[in-house]
Amino acid sequence: MKRNDETKKRTALEEWRLIRRGIRIVNEMLPHFWLYQILCTFTETLFPYFGLYLSAQMVNELVGDCNYERLLRLAVITVLGGLFLSIAGKLLQSRRNLCEAFMYQKNDIYMSDAQNDFQYEHLEDPNVVFQRAKIHAAIDAMGAGLYQVKWQLCSLLNDLMGAVFSASLTVSMLVMTARGEYTGVFAFINSPASSLVILSLILINAVCSVRIAAVRGVRQQRLMDGVAEENTRLNAFMRLWGMDMIFFRMDALVLKELRGHLRPKWIEEEEKVTIRYHFLSILLNAALNLCVFLFVAAKAFIGVFGIGNFILYQGTTQRFVMSVSNAAADIGRLKDNNRYLAFLFEYLDLPNDMYQGTLAVEKRDDIDYEIEFRDVSFRYPRTDEWALRHVSMKFKIGDRLAIVGENGSGKTTFIKLLCRLYDPTEGKILLNGIDITRYRYDEYMALFSVVFQDYKILGFPLGENVAVSQIYDETYVRDCLIRAGFGDKLASLDGDPAVKEKNSLRRALWRSYDAEAIELSGGEWQKVALARALYKDAPFVVLDEPTAALDPIAEAAVYEKFNKLTENKTSVFISHRLSSCRFCDSIAVFDHGQLIQQGAHDALVADAGGKYSKLWHAQAQYYEGA
Ligand code: ADP
Query: Which pLDDT score, from 0 to 100, does residue 121 have?
Result: 87
Nearest CA to ligand 1 atom 22: 380
- Determine whether the shortest distance from the Cβ of 145 to ligand 1 is under 6 A: no
| Ligand 1 pocket: which of 127, 413, 416, 591 to mutate (most atoms within 8 A of CB) | 413
Query: Do 306 and 422 sit in the same domain of this protein?
Result: no
* Within-domain flag for 430: yes
**Ligand 1 atom index nearest CA of 406:** 3
- Determine whether the shortest distance from the Cβ of 552 to ligand 1 is under 6 A: no
Query: Do 338 and 403 sit in the same domain of this protein?
Result: no
- Determine whether the shortest distance from the Cβ of 548 to ligand 1 is under 6 A: no
Residue 157 CA to residue 327 CA, distance in Å, equals 8
Looking at per-residue pLDDT, the higher value among 61 and 238 belongs to 61
Asked if pLDDT for residue 248 goes beyond 70, the answer is no
For residue 126, how far is its CA from the centre of ligand 1 (angstroms)? 14
Contact 426, 377 (CB under 8 A): yes
Query: Do 188 and 227 sit in the same domain of this protein?
Result: yes
- Determine whether the shortest distance from the Cβ of 575 to ligand 1 is under 6 A: no
Query: Do 414 and 305 sit in the same domain of this protein?
Result: no
Query: Do 344 and 380 sit in the same domain of this protein?
Result: no
Over the chain, what is the mean pLDDT? 84
Query: Which pLDDT score, from 0 to 100, does residue 626 have?
Result: 45
Asked if pLDDT for residue 2 goes beyond 50, the answer is no
For residue 308, how far is its CA from the centre of ligand 1 (angstroms)? 81
Provide the pLDDT confidence category of residue 88 given band limits of 50, 70 and 90.
Answer: very high
* Within-domain flag for 381: yes
Query: Do 331 and 428 sit in the same domain of this protein?
Result: no
Q: What's 601's domain CATH number? A: 3.40.50.300
* Within-domain flag for 355: no
C-alpha 388, offset from chain centre = 34
Tens digits of residue pLDDT in 96-121 = 999 999 888 898 888 888 887 788 88
Asked if pLDDT for residue 129 goes beyond 60, the answer is yes
How would you label 460-471 residue by residue, b for 16+ Cβ within 10 Å and e otherwise? ebbbbbbbeeee
Query: Do 391 and 267 sit in the same domain of this protein?
Result: no
Query: Which pLDDT score, from 0 to 100, does residue 57 have?
Result: 86
Report the number of distinct structural domains present in the chain. Answer: 2
Query: Which pLDDT score, from 0 to 100, does residue 5 have?
Result: 46
Query: Which pLDDT score, from 0 to 100, does residue 357 have?
Result: 83
Burial, 135: exposed, middle or buried (Cβ in 10 Å; 0-12, 13-18, 19+)? Answer: buried
Mean pLDDT of the 399-425 span: 92
Residue 338 CA to residue 350 CA, distance in Å, equals 18
* Within-domain flag for 289: yes
**Ligand 1 atom index nearest CA of 593:** 10
- Determine whether the shortest distance from the Cβ of 405 to ligand 1 is under 6 A: yes
- Determine whether the shortest distance from the Cβ of 409 to ligand 1 is under 6 A: yes
Query: Do 244 and 293 sit in the same domain of this protein?
Result: yes
- Determine whether the shortest distance from the Cβ of 387 to ligand 1 is under 6 A: yes
Query: Do 424 and 573 sit in the same domain of this protein?
Result: yes
For residue 347, how far is its CA from the centre of ligand 1 (angstroms)? 25
Nearest CA to ligand 1 atom 1: 408
Nearest CA to ligand 1 atom 16: 408
For residue 274, how far is its CA from the centre of ligand 1 (angstroms)? 48
Beta bridge partners of 404: 575, 589
For residue 411, how far is its CA from the centre of ligand 1 (angstroms)? 8
C-alpha 419, offset from chain centre = 27
- Determine whether the shortest distance from the Cβ of 408 to ligand 1 is under 6 A: yes
Nearest CA to ligand 1 atom 25: 380
Phi, psi of 208 (to 5 degrees): -60, -40
Provide the pLDDT confidence category of residue 36 given band limits of 50, 70 and 90.
Answer: very high
* Within-domain flag for 600: yes
* Within-domain flag for 248: yes
| Ligand 1 pocket: which of 128, 380, 417, 425 to mutate (most atoms within 8 A of CB) | 380
For residue 353, how far is its CA from the centre of ligand 1 (angstroms)? 22
Tens digits of residue pLDDT in 162-197 = 899 888 888 888 888 887 777 788 888 888 888 899
Asked if pLDDT for residue 547 goes beyond 90, the answer is no
Residue 619 CA to residue 626 CA, distance in Å, equals 12
Domain hosting 389: range is 370-623
Asked if pLDDT for residue 1 goes beyond 50, the answer is no
- Determine whether the shortest distance from the Cβ of 127 to ligand 1 is under 6 A: no
Q: What's 118's domain CATH number? A: 1.20.1560.10
Query: Do 49 and 104 sit in the same domain of this protein?
Result: yes
For residue 8, how far is its CA from the centre of ligand 1 (angstroms)? 37
Residue 125 CA to residue 133 CA, distance in Å, equals 12
